[in-house]
Amino acid sequence: MRFVEANGAKIPAVGLGTWELSGRTCARVVEQALRLGYRHIDTAQVYDNEREVGDGLRASGVRRDDVFVTTKVWTNHFAPHDLERSVKESLVRLRLPAVDLVLLHWPNPHVPLEETLGALAHAKRMGLTRHIGVSNFTVALIEQAVALSGEPLVCNQVEYHPYLDQTKVRAACDQHGMALVAYSPIAKGRIKADQTLAAIGRAHHKTPAQICLRWLVQQNVSAIPRTSRIERLSENIEIFDFELSDEEMGQIAALASPKGRLTDFGFAPKWD
């Protein structure tokens, strides 16, 4: 497995996203993913599956120290007194003494960022997490967060796939030594019918999803595809035995369109 290094963290380049996985399916998929070689599992308080992620971790038999576990604090727990308590509750659900990474899941303009980041840094100093970071932060918010954080931020997790240009966010992350972690990296399956990805795939004997994930990791991005299908789990990590040319990287980047964002929630910040 390849890693993305960022401000002291070593994040496996491919992980399992668990957004929209729940119950026994979630536990079974996490267990299988770990058995197949995944070493990076991404969950969040708002996914309501931390308990099942913990079940899958334990059932896999993989040593805790060998897995990079991320969770995220939802915006209703951003007040300083609440953040630490909510992280502790996440740990109870996961049945872990600490996670590897805790992220602020989404910007919350109603709580001063400085206070939330202070509480997040405190959670790190207390040993509840090895690293801290943010998610769904715009370039302007990354700049603010870096300036305000008392501890290094190791990543910004955002939607990223060939149909969405994240050049500016990626550049801001690079500038501050942060990794970009890509959720919805295969564009919720839309890439399956893509002729450009299919043609590149034929040249490398790979599927459009594998081409897409390889395109991300070749940019030093960590991708967290989600699937509930066991056969897809293998497909999504079999991307380390080939390389895309500069020309192919460019052809894939050219697929981006202004309407490429798939997850435009009402509470999302204005993207720049």
Residue 52 and residue 27 in contact, taking contact as beta carbons nearer than 8 Å: yes
C-alpha angle with apex 225: 222 to 227, nearest 5 degrees? 160
Nearer to ligand 1BO, 77 or 206 (CB): 77
Active site residue 47: yes
Bridge partners of residue 135, in order along the sequence = 157
Q: Cβ 8 to ligand 1BO, closest distance in Å?
A: 23
Nearer to ligand 1BO, 62 or 104 (CB): 104
> For ligand 1BO, how many residues bind (rule: CB under 6 A)?
4
CA distances from 102 to 135, 209, 236, 262 (A): 10, 28, 24, 24
Please list every residue from 30 through 89 that binds ligand 1BO, using CB under 6 A.
44, 46
Q: Cβ 265 to ligand 1BO, closest distance in Å?
A: 6
**Nearest residue to 234 via CA among 7, 16, 61:** 16
- Name the catalytic one among 38, 47, 163, 183: 47
241 φ, ψ to 5°?
-115, 20
- Per-residue x/- marks for ligand 1BO, 1-40, CB under 6 A? ------------------x---------------------
Rounded Cα distance, 169 and 66, in Å: 29
In 163-270, alpha helices (H): 167-175, 195-204, 208-217, 230-237, 246-253
Please list every residue from 157 through 196 that binds ligand 1BO, using CB under 6 A.
183
Nearer to ligand 1BO, 87 or 200 (CB): 87
Cα–chain center distance at 223: 6
Nearer to ligand 1BO, 3 or 74 (CB): 74
258, two tokens: 């202004």
Nearer to ligand 1BO, 178 or 211 (CB): 178
Q: Cβ 118 to ligand 1BO, closest distance in Å?
A: 23
Q: Cβ 200 to ligand 1BO, closest distance in Å?
A: 27
Rounded Cα distance, 115 and 113, in Å: 5
The residue at minimum Cβ distance from ligand 1BO is 19
Q: Cβ 205 to ligand 1BO, closest distance in Å?
A: 32
Identify each DSSP E strand in 16-98 by its residue range.
16-17, 40-42, 68-73
29, two tokens: 């998929």
Placement of tokens 């996203």 in the chain? 17
Q: Which residues form the interface with ligand 1BO (CB under 6 A)?
A: 19, 44, 46, 183
Active-site residue set: 47
